[in-house]
Structure 1
Amino acid sequence: MTGAPAGARPRAGEDGFEIPGRGRGLLDVLQRRYLLRLLVRKELRVRYQGSALGLLWSYVKPAVQFCVFFFALGVFLKVGQDVENFAVYLFAGIVVINYFSETFGNATRAVVGNAPLVKKIYLPRELFPVASAWVAAVHFLPQFVVLLIGTLIAGWRPTLGQLAGGALGFAIIVVLAVGLGLLFGAINVLYRDFENIVDLLLLVVTWTSPVLYTWVHVRDAIRRAELPDWLLTVYQLNPVTSAVELFHYGFWYGATTKPYELPPNLLWNGLLSLGIAVAVLVLGQFTFRRLEGRFAQEL
């Protein structure tokens, strides 16, 4: 080696090789985009192998979900009777929650589900949760197209600020879902109970986010119960809540003909929620890197 004293032992990395099992986390995923594409293709191929509908399930499942919620809540319980274009409002929330649920749930199972690869070769383990986010994005895209068509039919005329709000909402949900996927995916290798815990969390998130109702219902319920007003602030600082509200602002509010009361400090809460999501991503990456050395042994 040039530059090294005779007989000196080269330090790690000086010989041009990397120490196996050590990497730079998510930065390695950016450098190995080809592997990421292969994993995404593999996940899609395995998921729809032998399926007659294939990617059409990206339309069928949210359509059934939408119909159940719309008729159960909007028609029978009349939850959306005061909400103009309630169908657009409902579907805008559904596509966000579906992306979050699919990314978080599949990322939690990603390392365990790819156990043969983890045990046989070294590659950045973060590729598996990130691939789950990309697979979810493939399913999100057709749902988003349907949402755009519906909101255009409803008379959608967005402002630049509303479009920025929708983009911010999606950024929050992506960062949060990947961060939680890294965190729970790493712990799930050691304790498989976390798969069931995540399923319960996703059920809670669906019903506690303003997808099936508006934030006004939450405010009025807090006031009727004479609870402190700061509970509403805590509710709105939930990153999932902020993401859903921003998506409503971006893709529903511009299709309304009468003014609606927006959540207070919507943009500010969105930025704070993005900060919380980034903190979760950092925590998830830290936990993942601390535990990944045990993955092959535990699997």
Structure 2
Amino acid sequence: MRRDASDAVLEEPGRSRGLKDVLLRRHLLNLIVRKEIQIRYRGSIFGWLWSYVKPLVQFLVFYVALGVFLALNKSIDFYAIYILAGITIVTFFNEAFSNGTRSLVDNAALIKKIYLPREMFPVSSMLVALINTVPQIVVVIAIALIFGWAPTVVQIAALLLGLLIVALLATGLGMLFGAINVTFRDAQSFVEIIVMCAVWASPVMYHWQMVASQVPDWLFTIYRLNPLTPAVELFHYGIWFPLNPKGAEPLPGMWGFAGWALLISVLILALGQAVFRRLEGRFAQDL
């Protein structure tokens, strides 16, 4: 039966359905991600090899400078693996958040020429950061295997949950600050401060017990509600804990606070999407 033209559902040109459009245009998203990856390694002789060399060099620096010279191995067993596991997940957050904030400005020429779901750019920034994080995870796991890493299914699940929390959080914040950054470039400088503080606002360079012993209980609860704190501890639980370090204890209420972190990340994603859709009508004009 032939459909009458009057029965067709008309849509306003350029009208966005938010993240749903990104999912419906996965091929375009794939092209943008591939372009960003190719740009990153353009003109490089060793290419992807650098993604494995950098975390390996980091491990050697942490092991010698911090573990041996500063004797931090005496306070935290396998300190170099502990710090590298935490830095890996925080680096994923920092790269996805920072690049997501700049993504609209960096792609101004494309945004002004054609219409496509603008959420595509912060989402692609998160995916590129995730792809760049995979070699770091591979390196830290390979090093942990040398020291006897033997995780359980629950500990592997903890790693995946930590990645999910950070992916949602970074995407939401990238859309929120990316939309604001189009009009007010001060947002980018503010993000740089957040990124600088992120590594210290979660138990990466130190153990959570040091915080618990120095702050009141209510402040320690707020500290654990920071989504990065349970995300980092999930990575410690998945990579560092299987090594059976002496005196290691999970973050109190880790799974409960991981649930809160996931909920907070989803809410921030929803907020980022709402602000993004509110402001995207001015993107082409302000860019």
Task: Indicate conservation of the 8 Å contact 1:107/1:178, yes or no.
Answer: yes
1:162 pairs, out of 155, 165, 169, with 155
C-alpha distance 220-294 of structure 1, shift in aligned 2 (>3 A) = same
Other-structure match for 1:11? none
Other-structure match for 1:190? 183
Q: Distance in 2 between matches of 1:288 and 1:2?
A: 36
Structure 2 SS opposite 1:207: coil
User: How many equivalent residue pairs?
Assistant: 285
Between the aligned residues of both structures, percent identity stands at 52
1:2 pairs, out of 4, 7, 11, with 4
Task: Indicate conservation of the 8 Å contact 2:72/2:79, yes or no.
Answer: no
Structure 2 residue 46 is the aligned partner of structure 1 residue 53:
yes
Q: Which amino acid aligns with 2:269?
A: L
2:125 pairs, out of 117, 128, 132, with 132
Q: Distance in 2 between matches of 1:152 and 1:193?
A: 44
Instruction: Compute the displacement of 1:250 (Å).
Output: 1.1
Who wins on radius of gyration, i.e. which is larger? 1
2:217 pairs, out of 220, 229, 233, with 229
Instruction: Compute the displacement of 1:98 (Å).
Output: 1.1
Q: Distance in 2 between matches of 1:68 and 1:155?
A: 21
Task: Indicate conservation of the 8 Å contact 1:155/1:256, yes or no.
Answer: no
Task: Indicate conservation of the 8 Å contact 1:235/1:241, yes or no.
Answer: yes
Q: Which runs of 5+ in 2 are unaligned?
A: none
Other-structure match for 1:93? 86
Give CA deviations for 1:83-129 in whole Å, capped at 9, x if unaligned.
22222211111110111111001000001000011000000000001
1:241 pairs, out of 229, 253, 263, with 229
C-alpha distance 70-22 of structure 1, shift in aligned 2 (>3 A) = farther
Other-structure match for 2:282? 294
Structure 2 residue 32 is the aligned partner of structure 1 residue 32:
no
2:252 pairs, out of 250, 255, 264, with 264
Other-structure match for 1:142? 135
Instruction: Compute the displacement of 1:259 (Å).
Output: 4.9
Q: Which runs of 5+ in 1 are unaligned?
A: 5-13, 223-227
- Name the TM-score, length of structure 1 as normaliser: 0.89
C-alpha distance 70-207 of structure 1, shift in aligned 2 (>3 A) = farther
Structure 2 residue 268 is the aligned partner of structure 1 residue 280:
yes
Instruction: Compute the displacement of 1:19 (Å).
Output: 1.8
1:114 pairs, out of 100, 107, 118, with 107
Alignment root-mean-square deviation, CA: 1.9
Instruction: Compute the displacement of 1:52 (Å).
Output: 3.1
Structure 2 SS opposite 1:106: helix
Give CA deviations for 1:248-288 in whole Å, capped at 9, x if unaligned.
00111011154522211010010011101111000001011
Q: Distance in 2 between matches of 1:150 and 1:59?
A: 12
Structure 2 SS opposite 1:168: helix
Q: Distance in 2 between matches of 1:265 and 1:136?
A: 29
Task: Indicate conservation of the 8 Å contact 2:59/2:81, yes or no.
Answer: no
Task: Indicate conservation of the 8 Å contact 1:20/1:122, yes or no.
Answer: no
Task: Indicate conservation of the 8 Å contact 1:104/1:181, yes or no.
Answer: yes
Task: Indicate conservation of the 8 Å contact 1:85/1:256, yes or no.
Answer: no
Q: Which amino acid aligns with 2:182?
A: V
Other-structure match for 1:251? 239
Deviates more, 1:181-190 or 1:161-170: 161-170
Task: Indicate conservation of the 8 Å contact 1:55/1:139, yes or no.
Answer: no
Task: Indicate conservation of the 8 Å contact 1:133/1:174, yes or no.
Answer: yes
Deviates more, 1:69-78 or 1:238-247: 69-78
